[in-house]
Structure 1
């Protein structure tokens, strides 16, 4: 069996469970699900860009585009910490909690970030994510 290396990026949000940010197997890099929380956070709701909740968990502010941009920045941070890059992404699985509301914005922002590199992509709607975020990415990249 090929050796595997676990990678944790100091400039990406901490995982919310017992798993690494990424794992290298041969020249492939498998990223765990990456969300939009800011790097210093763990599960603090106030650390989700574009999201403010009241004491009952109701939305006071919601900006999905900010979450999209933040999740892409976090994916890039994990890629760079792993010795890979945005250009090396080959497959992206996108989890949205509200396809009807968020897909058009997501697709627009995605086109900005992926105009040069166009990895395979699957987008699915899910019921919820483990923290109050609206998007998460699961990625596979190569390492040169």
Structure 2
């Protein structure tokens, strides 16, 4: 792939630092592909609303606060890469507890995507790389 501006990697100064060797997003032509985005906050290891046991396992979590945080992180990455929330065309959502969290997720998703309704896939996974209950993988169309 060429290394010009239309296929460049983007990292946000406001979204949480990646937990591995990958950019927050990569643009290919007029498409912007976001790496998996979780609810952590930049500069912090603590996840919003998560209480850990002494052994590092999740004791409890506030799923709603994680949803708000992950949507904000997606917005940060989009904006810093030259896109807008309304430019999202596809969202894949990973939940660690579909049965318990899907109703809350679905309600909040409907609030955030009232006017723009990208395609959506939601799957349950056994766990995610950090003690989080939700992660989003997104694709947006970028003008010009």
What band does the TM-score fall into relative to the shorter chain? over 0.9
Shift of 1:100: 0.4
Q: Which structure 1 residue ranges, 5 or more long, are not aligned?
A: none
Shift of 1:61: 3.8
* Residue aligned with 2:16, SS: coil
After TM superposition, the structure 1 stretch with the greater mean CA deviation from structure 2, 53-62 or 75-84, is 53-62
Q: 2 CA distance for matches of 1:59 and 1:86?
A: 31
Contact between 2:58 and 2:131, CA under 8 Å: does it hold in 1? no
Contact between 1:93 and 1:139, CA under 8 Å: does it hold in 2? yes
Q: 2 CA distance for matches of 1:87 and 1:20?
A: 21
The count of corresponding residues between Structure 1 and Structure 2 is 140
Question: Which residue pairs with 2:61 in the alignment?
Answer: 62
| Deviation beyond 3 Å, 4+ runs, structure 1 | 58-61
* Residue aligned with 1:94, SS: strand
Question: Which residue pairs with 2:24 in the alignment?
Answer: 21
Q: 2 CA distance for matches of 1:60 and 1:19?
A: 29
Paired residues for 1:104-115 under 5 Å: 104-115=103-114
Shift of 1:141: 0.1
TM-score normalised to the size of structure 2?
A: 0.93
Kindly indicate whether residue 8 of structure 2 is the aligned counterpart of residue 5 of structure 1: yes
Kindly indicate whether residue 134 of structure 2 is the aligned counterpart of residue 135 of structure 1: yes
Q: Which structure 2 residue ranges, 5 or more long, are not aligned?
A: none
Q: RMSD of the TM alignment (CA)?
A: 1.2
